[in-house]
Structure 1
Amino acid sequence: MRLAYRPPYDWPAMLGFLQARAIEGLERVEGNRYSRSIGLAGVHGWFSVGPGDADALAPSLVLQLYFPDPQARASIVARIRRLLDLDTDLAPIHRHLCSDPLMARLIASRPGLRVPGAWDGFELAVRAVLGQQITVGAAIRLAGKLVARYGQPLAAVGAPAGLSHVFPEPAQMAGADLASLGMPRSRGRTLSGLAQAALDDPQLFAPKASLEHSLSALLALWGVGDWTAHYVALRQFREADAFPAADVGLINALAALEGEPVNARQLLARAEAWRPWRGYAAQHLWTAL
């Protein structure tokens, strides 16, 4: 199956982002293809996606999908398109952001850079909480332990090598002692509370009416602060103006690019000029490091 998109599209950047955050047993990047397991309503499957033929009439990625329920295929493809940010028209975003000379320079160097989405909101929120105040690599190692202990073994034929589990469901995490995986007890409590909240409200990670509604729904959860809420709003709710201003990577990137120290307050003030596309500006800053 081909997944068409409106160019430009920077697949190497998207693949690099996914590879750096790939959870062992759940995801795999091999060559120029990304693969992962999926689970919906207790049914397991997997998909693999990579670049299409450069000589094709319409630019596209090539998707290989296995899921035993054919009625779910359309919704799965829609979720993959959101994950890969295939439907965004970058032209108006670039016109606005390029009024800032720094953004103009970054966009010129990566004109097809997209904002990666998420396969599942609960999974993304768990990843974000695991990543609080630690490196990406450390968070991914913790996530791998979580998947190995609480995820179900993948029950799907023909899965690519390395895919062994699906991500744990909220019910599997709500009452678990997650701190035993090697994280602060307060973070384990946040994850357990997040799982219980997802059980109590199945629409917790459904699209909201605005960025403000998205943030308020997340900030009401114990242990979820501004950084986590903006990160989830950007990647799950696809709020293009979400902006985790306290992110160390963003602060360091702006400081390195402009050659002088920057704090979170100064970064947030600078980002006012990037509204309503601060999330895309953030992706360019993250990628610039």
Structure 2
Amino acid sequence: MSSLNLLDLQQRHFHITCPAGFDYDFMLDFLRPRIIEGVECVTQGKYARSFHFEQPYTADGYTNGYFEVEYQTVENALVVKVVCDDDLGFDIVQQRVRFMFDLDTDMQAIERQLQSDSVLQRGFVDNRVPRMPKAFDSFEFCIRAILGQQVSVKVATTLAKRIAHSTQLTTPESFPAGIDFFFPQCDDLLHHTFDGLGLTSSRIATLQVVISALRNEVISLDKAQVFEDFLEQWTALKGVGPWTANYLAMRGLGIQDSFPDKDLGVLKALLTSDKYPTRKAVLQQAKAWQPYRAYATLCLWNGLGH
């Protein structure tokens, strides 16, 4: 696939006021080891990434560009620079940035539910439940969730980088250093070969099944869908287990009660006498965290230093 030829790039700046207690450093610390090299980067307190998402009303069917985010401590605000080839794309990017940094979640209700749990408290930040670092691009995160099955964060991130680079959706030279590729979307990968990228044949098969199911609208990445329906539909696909579906729901769609109960980090955080708890015991313990088990999971991870 050839480089995208972007014309008529426009630039705008936004100031997004953050909620009291917002912890930008925590967000960057979480994102930094998960960065897809060439698509996004973190340098000197600034997060930057390209974007390439479907918009049927545009000439080529996509909105393309990049954005940069910095945090202003005095104003308690995110300063967002957006460069985009579609005038209507600016508001969409701003909404996605708000989602990515979890700015619109009512943390008071979550803290009331979780604040007294001594296990979760190990993962609090300044005695607070941390906000959830979410995905700017739900489709991209869907691919990453599949790649993350039973491998480390580092391996999954490396595989995501290889996929992004292999589609050769290169950015214009005017983009910032380190933002060299767009991450492909569903149609970009529909007939793409994943050979030679270090993926197992079963992982490739799962990617192809999910991409086809999304294109044929058998499944959806709609953030407003009913969680139980989402789980049923996604786990019915060959190669997609409960961990993948819950992790996607948690960080890709922002579903607050998603819970990857078989996640190794969760199990490590709940160790007792050097023994992993049974699944039944994990689910029983997690009942006290409902309907915010996703945030409880984040606390468990953070307590391990993830």
Asked if these proteins are the same fold (TM beyond 0.5), I'd say: yes
Structure 1 residues 142, 264: closer, same or farther in 2, change over 3 A? farther
Instruction: Please list every run of at least 4 consecutive aligned residues from structure 1 whose deviation after the TM superposition is greater than 4 angstroms.
Output: none
Moved more, 237-246 or 114-123: 114-123
Distance in 2 (CA, whole Å) between partners of 1:273 and 1:61 is 34
Query: Once the 2 structures are TM-superposed, how far is the Cα of residue 269 of structure 1 from its aligned partner?
Result: 1.7
1:239: how far off? 0.9
User: What does residue 301 of structure 2 align with?
Assistant: 286
User: More helix by proportion, 1 or 2?
Assistant: 1
Percentage of pairs with the same residue:
33
User: For residues 1-289 of structure 1, what are the structure 2 equivalents within 5 Å?
Assistant: 1-40=14-53, 41-52=61-72, 54-56=73-75, 59-107=76-124, 109-111=126-128, 113-155=130-172, 158-201=174-217, 204-255=220-271, 260-265=274-279, 266-289=281-304
Instruction: Give the structure-1-normalised TM-score.
Output: 0.91
> Is the 1:25–1:164 contact (alpha carbons within 8 Å) kept by the matching residues of 2?
yes
| Deviation string, structure 1 residues 27-73 (Cα, Å, up to 9, x no partner) | 10101111100013333200111211x222xx211111111222221
Tell me the SS of whatever aligns to 2:47.
strand
SS at match of 1:181: coil
Q: Is the 8 A contact 2:270 2:277 kept in 1?
A: no
User: Which runs of 5 or more structure 2 residues have no equivalent in the other structure?
Assistant: 1-13, 54-60
Q: TM-score, normalised by structure 2?
A: 0.86
Does the 8 Å CA contact 1:208/1:214 hold for their aligned counterparts? Answer: no
Please report how far the alpha carbon of residue 112 of structure 1 lies from its aligned counterpart in structure 2 after TM superposition: 5.9
Unmatched tracts of structure 1, length 5 or more: none
Where 2:220 maps in the other structure, the secondary structure is coil
Question: Is the contact between residue 123 and residue 302 of structure 2 (CA under 8 Å) also seen in structure 1?
Answer: no
Asked if 1 retains the 8 angstrom alpha-carbon contact of 2:121 and 2:299, the reply is no
Matched position secondary structure for 1:180: coil
Mapped to 2, the partners of 1:149 and 1:237 lie a distance apart of 26
2:20, 2:220 → 1: CA distance? 33
Q: Which amino acid aligns with 1:154?
A: T
- Paired residues, number: 283
- Please give the alpha-carbon distance, in whole angstroms, between the structure 1 residues aligned to 2:237 and 2:275: 33
